[in-house]
Structure 1
């Protein structure tokens, strides 16, 4: 028996434990130290039939262990799940398809096709010329902008590839980690294993020949606000230090959070707009006295996963919002896209301006 390997076990306080970081998460309060140790054993897996002996070694009464198991019935697995197919080249092709679709997305209706002396084929001359000018203006705006991406796992690499395919001129990319096997499937290839993530991602974007300049940031220290916009990709929770620094610099940020069984995109921080990530955090603190410690634990343990399907969906949706921002300078106020665990369903949540935040006074 073991705890579902797709869920993270977090100790929020001495006697408070959280299982999972997404929709399925649950909290256990009043847990004595032996119960916490037993939960840790469940993370590693306890051979069937040895639960009582393991509980005794942890200093936990076997009857209490059975009660704990009954409480967590929906979170336990008696047998290892069947092996799933690993990430492969098909996921790379999917990311390419999304990127190309988004790159062409801004073209006004009727601009596809061959041109003629009077403009675009099938479109009167003046209208065809106007449409071409609009497309040119959009592409120029994309080319002139620099976007900073913090966090370059599967999700961050999708964002970078989509933005490059959409014609964003410069990408500054940062992550202190190296490429691991779990990162393959959306941008990185097997030869990248062990390389710095920023350097490897820069090579992959360069190999695509899209013309985007990639600036790999390899310092172990996270950079401050940079470029015209920062996309912050984290596991477990929003990094509110990034948001606070951006707010002090009047710098827009789009947070993307990958959790155990879902992903959250937004809300944006845009100077003066309100309904920002700090509003959401303050509202959550009003209802949850452990909010600060919970967020710190989620970030410290990087309590999230980046399955290919969810990472591809979340990355493409985040990139789409960035492209719209690059073109129009606007972002959806207070909107959070909630990507469910298999990447097939997306809901929209809304955040209200918190009276104590003061974000509407920035900018």
Structure 2
């Protein structure tokens, strides 16, 4: 057995230590004897069940008390039975999510990502939307997303070249676990209507003149669709439909490179959260980042009462 996330053991004072370096995430143990502290030191290096009795003897600690201490740590979620993962990026991710006590375990989370199918829809040009999508997909492949279904041939070729172990095809009629679009100015209403009929969630990303909006996640069988967003925009600005019609014919905006990199990371984070942990944070919620608002402006969306999808809320 070993401490979760390879967390360090730090001494706080006589008979007191903490497992983990960051306040708020560490577990503090108090009232320990010197012998118990010596045993905790051995757990920092890893210990199996067979050697627990020997370690307790070397620490001059009764075996019964050693088992009690181990049980206390196990109840606190601080122990893992499986060995440390092999080195590399995947191991770093697993250890990180162990420290955060990922639901079901960090290894199970990694398995969910490995089994996930992500569809990236739309043709990507050389503008900001294409750059953001390509970098985000790089992050996602590195994070272990098992299958990337790219509609754009250049993106598909890039995945094949850089990440040969990432699947790029899926069984016939197999639905993706998430559909991602990265578009300039506005959500394409024609594509959005088509995606709304698919039995898979859709995460829209819109690259605008000075900001990038990620979300809200649109889920099958749930009210809130792209038409709702359009109607809310119209409520805020009655002339918005006329402006939006013209924006659809504009070239993709040219944005600050740093903002594009930041947006790529945010897109990747949003996709990973949805694939590994479910809708959660992104259900009916968007985040808009820009130069003046690098921490992002959060917005919660409600189904628009004039939209036909609102009827789903009453079913």
TM exceeding 0.5: yes
What are structure 2's unaligned runs of at least 5 residues?
8-44, 51-68, 83-97, 125-129
Mark the CA change 1:311 to 1:226 in structure 2 (over 3 Å): closer, same or farther: farther
Q: Distance in 2 between matches of 1:241 and 1:235?
A: 14
Of the structure 1 ranges 141-150 and 334-343, higher mean CA displacement relative to structure 2 is found in: 334-343
Mark the CA change 1:118 to 1:258 in structure 2 (over 3 Å): closer, same or farther: farther
Residue 112 of structure 2 corresponds to which residue in structure 1?
141
Residue 165 of structure 1 corresponds to which residue in structure 2?
142
| Shift in Å, 1:299 | 2.8
Conserved? CA contact 1:118–1:125, under 8 Å: no
Conserved? CA contact 2:118–2:148, under 8 Å: yes
CA offsets per residue over residues 134-171 of structure 1, 9 Å max, x none? Answer: 12211111111110113541110122012111111000
Residue 212 of structure 1 corresponds to which residue in structure 2?
166
Q: Distance in 1 between matches of 2:197 and 2:110?
A: 30
Q: Distance in 1 between matches of 2:226 and 2:201?
A: 11
Residue 335 of structure 1 corresponds to which residue in structure 2?
285
Conserved? CA contact 2:112–2:276, under 8 Å: yes
Residue 48 of structure 2 corresponds to which residue in structure 1?
117
Conserved? CA contact 2:217–2:279, under 8 Å: no
Aligned ranges 1:167-246 → 2 under 5 Å: 167-175=144-152, 196-206=154-164, 211-214=165-168, 227-246=176-195
Residue 65 of structure 1 corresponds to which residue in structure 2?
none
Q: Distance in 2 between matches of 1:261 and 1:329?
A: 30
Of the structure 1 ranges 137-146 and 313-322, higher mean CA displacement relative to structure 2 is found in: 313-322
Mark the CA change 1:285 to 1:117 in structure 2 (over 3 Å): closer, same or farther: same
Q: Distance in 2 between matches of 1:111 and 1:267?
A: 32
Correspondence 1:350 to 2:300:
yes
Conserved? CA contact 1:225–1:249, under 8 Å: no
Mark the CA change 1:252 to 1:112 in structure 2 (over 3 Å): closer, same or farther: same
CA offsets per residue over residues 275-333 of structure 1, 9 Å max, x none? Answer: 44321111223444443443343232234224321122112112212111112222433
- Count of residues paired in the alignment: 223
**SS, match of residue 142 in structure 1:** helix
Mark the CA change 1:359 to 1:159 in structure 2 (over 3 Å): closer, same or farther: farther
Of the structure 1 ranges 229-238 and 349-358, higher mean CA displacement relative to structure 2 is found in: 349-358
**SS, match of residue 105 in structure 2:** helix
Conserved? CA contact 1:148–1:226, under 8 Å: no
Residue 323 of structure 1 corresponds to which residue in structure 2?
272
Q: Distance in 2 between matches of 1:129 and 1:267?
A: 38
**SS, match of residue 194 in structure 2:** helix
Residue 53 of structure 2 corresponds to which residue in structure 1?
none
Mark the CA change 1:215 to 1:250 in structure 2 (over 3 Å): closer, same or farther: closer
Q: Distance in 2 between matches of 1:286 and 1:343?
A: 24
**SS, match of residue 356 in structure 1:** coil
Residue 32 of structure 1 corresponds to which residue in structure 2?
none
Mark the CA change 1:134 to 1:287 in structure 2 (over 3 Å): closer, same or farther: closer
Structure whose alpha-carbon radius of gyration is higher: 2
Conserved? CA contact 1:265–1:318, under 8 Å: yes
Residue 64 of structure 2 corresponds to which residue in structure 1?
none
CA offsets per residue over residues 161-212 of structure 1, 9 Å max, x none? Answer: 1211111100011337xxxxxxxxxxxxxxxxxxx34323432334xxxx32
What are structure 1's unaligned runs of at least 5 residues?
1-108, 177-195, 217-223
Q: Distance in 1 between matches of 2:201 and 2:147?
A: 17
RMSD: 3.4
